[in-house]
Amino acid sequence: MAERFGPGDRVQASRTDPPYHTRLPRYARGAIGTVMERQGRYPLPDRSARSLPAEPEPVYAVRFTARELFGGADVVVDALDS
């Protein structure tokens, strides 16, 4: 599988939520982010664990805004005046 994305590309994470582990956290499913860097090609260990072919796949560092992932909700904290 060829690397499809490069630094600066805007990407949308897959919405698929398979019953097995992937590198993508559930809270980022469907979110839009920006590729920061290519991190190389690695096999997904869970494929090997399920006796499936584990060909190396491109891995990317993708930056997501908190608003994109969590809806931009306000955060309230208790603070001391000391």
pLDDT of 40-70, one tens digit each?
A: 998 888 888 888 888 898 999 999 988 888 8
CA distance 8 to 63: 10
pLDDT higher than threshold 70 for residue 22: yes
What single-letter amino acid sits at 35? V
Q: Which of 52, 72, 62, 74 has its CA nearest to residue 25?
A: 62
pTM here is 0.76
Residues 25-36 have pLDDT tens digits of 888 999 999 999
Residue type, 31: A
